[in-house]
Amino acid sequence: MITRVTASRPNPILTGLRCRCPNCGRGPLFSGFLKVAPRCSACGFDLKAADSGDGPAVFIILIVGFIVGFAALFTEIAYQPPVWVHLSLWLPLSVILCLALLRPFKGVLIALQMHHRAAEARNDDF
């Protein structure tokens, strides 16, 4: 029986949620709020090619829109508060949820790209 020895790589979802390097799981993935670091400070892995595009924003818009939309509709039907209550509740909640979820979702998508060795299609690929 032949077994292949492979280097153990961290779980891409957990690594992305913690905003860590998708290669080693130790170094920080971001150098700013959403700016991807050029290299991992722990293992030296090149992160320049990491680009999640608009994927995280789309997921966040759909998730936060569902949560806030359902909560606002439920509140309106159950309590019928004035409009200012809706504005003071749901607008700040939307902003807070979007900002809180955007960085981890971007980390997960970048880690999954690196894990599956995904790359952009070029014109000469076809």
Structural domain that includes position 32: 12-119
Report in angstroms the alpha-carbon separations of 118 from 110, 113, 114: 10, 5, 6
Q: Under a CB-based contact definition with an 8 Å cutoff, are residues 36 and 29 in contact?
A: yes
- Tell me, yes or no, whether 7 lies in a domain: no
| Within a domain: 5 | no
Query: Greatest CA separation found in the chain?
Result: 71
Domain annotation covers residue 63: yes
Check if the beta carbon of residue 36 is closer than 8 Å to that of residue 66: no
Asked whether residue 21 is assigned to any structural domain, the reply reads yes
In a domain, 61, yes or no: yes
Q: What is the pTM of this model?
A: 0.84
Query: Over the chain (126 residues), what is each successive 10-residue block's mean pLDDT?
Result: 58 95 93 93 89 92 97 97 97 97 96 85 59
30 inside domain: yes
What is residue 1's predicted lDDT score, i.e. its pLDDT? 46
The reply to whether 6 falls in a domain is no
Does a structural domain hold residue 125? no
- What pLDDT score was predicted for residue 5? 42
How many domains does one find in the chain? 1
